[in-house]
Amino acid sequence: MNADCPVLALTTGEPAGIGPDLCVQIARHSLPCRLVVIADHGLLRERARLLGLPLDIDLLPEQSDGYATHRAGSLSVLHVPLASPAVPGRPDPANAGYVLDTLARAVDLCVRRECGAMVTAPVHKGVINDAGIAFTGHTEYLAALTGGEAVMMLAGGGMRVALATTHLPLKEVAGAITRDRLMRKLRILHHDLRTRFALDAPRIAVTGLNPHAGESGHLGREEIDIIIPALEALRGEGLVLAGPLPADTVFHPACLKDYDCVFAMYHDQGLPVLKHASFGAGVNVTLGLPIIRTSVDHGTALELAATGRADPGSLLVAVEMAAMLAGNQQRLETGIPAG
């Protein structure tokens, strides 16, 4: 793989949503990579027709000796057939297997090193579960496929925010905050900030779980009993960690400037602030896997499918970040300093 022009696998997500629209739209852009789109080629042709956008499709064989440089107005497609015709805005559980198959194909390409990273358009968790398949999200599914332990991180608005827990009901979060979990996740975050983001000594701000980081135990003891001992142990391993800090003040610019990443305890503690600052231009990055994966920062937007009103900005940024991370990984493996 060429570090300066890596090969990326791109999945189109829920076929009734805006994922196919976004893939058709970014085909018109110059991209810093060679792109392999894993999808039903008929779906892409039909969505291009509905959007009124010209699109050339180059069908790829199952096994390829190499991938061509991206040409504006075209997509190289590895065909995976839909189970049922896709109707914009009307998801069909019959296509749940198709969605998961495209993800498995992308993972396989990355594991076999034919692709340096994978980029995913949004899926519809509810539809997959309606098909009788237990599915909590991309992050957890990819961890299960690869045997990694995933850490979910979003980047945008000048921030990076990683999560100790992801898609859990709020009532289950406190029980999931354990010393062992925090130490594992923070080690992964530290490692991947160094190896994939080329940060020599990452500085990580860690939030508390409770308001005001527990107010010295008056608003909860998780900070005293769990979070502080975990951070002290990791500092002994050389990690640069601050906290636990109150979540309502850590996102102030004067505080953020001192850190490379914020590690939040749960989904809606860390992500609303980042999405307020960057929605539509943020990137979801899955750390802790043996492969690189980025994604958009939004959902399937069924009501926008095939209307031409979907904004491809987040997918473009996700592709650019995946290309950067793949290049950094390649340079690290070849002993060349990351750029």
What does the pLDDT average to over 124-131? Answer: 96
Give yes or no: residues 202 and 267 share one domain: yes
Which one of 232, 255, 278 terminates a domain? 278
The Cα–Cα gap between 121 and 13 comes to 5
Over residues 33-43, the mean pLDDT reads 97
In DSSP notation, 69-122 reads PP-TTEEEEEE---SS--BTTB--GGGHHHHHHHHHHHHHHHHTTSSSEEEE--
- In which residue are the tokens 């990791």 written? 234
User: What does the pLDDT read at residue 3?
Assistant: 60
- 17 and 99 belong to one structural domain: yes
Q: Are residues 110 and 1 in the same domain?
A: yes
CA distance linking residue 55 with residue 77, whole number of Å: 12
Could you tell me if 250 and 311 lie in one domain?
A: no
Query: In this structure, is residue 284 part of a structural domain?
Result: no
CB environment 136-164: b (16+ within 10 A), e (fewer): eebbbbbbebbebebbbbbbbbebbbbbb
337 assigned to some structural domain: yes
Give the rounded percent of residues in the chain with a pLDDT score beyond 70: 98
Interacting residues of 88 by C-beta distance below 8 A, sequence separation 6+:
16, 47, 50, 302, 305, 306
Question: Is there a single domain that holds both residue 170 and residue 243?
Answer: yes
Q: Which of 157, 120, 58, 150 is nearest to 322 (CA)?
A: 120
- Please say which residue of 239, 259, 278 terminates a domain: 278
Residue 84 clears pLDDT 90, i.e. is over it: yes
CA distances (Å), origin 7, targets 1, 284, 312: 7, 19, 20
Residues 140 and 160 in one domain: no
The domain boundary, picked from 278, 298, 331, lies at: 278
Confidence at 4, pLDDT banded by 50, 70, 90: confident
| Mode of pairing for the β-strands spanning 283-287 and 56-59 | unpaired
Query: How many domains does one find in the chain?
Result: 2
Return the pLDDT at 1.
54
Question: Residue 224 sits in which domain range?
Answer: 151-278
Would you give the end-to-end CA distance of the chain in angstroms?
Answer: 16
Assess whether 104 and 181 both reside in one domain. no
Rounded distance between C-alpha atoms, residue 29 and residue 258, angstroms: 35
The answer to whether residue 297 is domain-embedded is: yes
Residues 145-180 have pLDDT tens digits of: 999 899 999 999 999 999 999 989 999 999 999 999
Task: Classify residue 179: in a domain, yes or no.
Answer: yes
Rounded mean pLDDT of 24-48?
Answer: 96
CATH number for 164 = 3.40.718.10
Give residue 70's pLDDT: 87
227 and 168 belong to one structural domain: yes
Whether 207 is covered by a domain: the verdict is yes
- In a domain, residue 283? The reply is no
* Pair (225, 260) in one structural domain: yes
**Span 32-45, average pLDDT:** 96
Minimum mean pLDDT range among 10-24, 193-207, 272-286, 302-316: 272-286
Rounded CA-CA distance 257/47 in Å is 43
Residue 315 lies in a domain: yes
In this prediction, residue 337 has a pLDDT band, given cuts at 50, 70 and 90, of low
| pLDDT averaged over every residue in the chain | 94
Cα within 13 Å of Cα(19), Cβ side: 29
* Locus of tokens 């998780």: 222
The per-residue pLDDT for 284 is 94
308 inside domain: yes
Do 295 and 318 touch, CB atoms closer than 8 A? yes
**Angle 268-274-277 (CA atoms, 0-180°, nearest 5)?**
135
Q: Is there a single domain that holds both residue 217 and residue 68?
A: no
If one compares 137 and 87, the residue with the highest pLDDT of the two is: 87
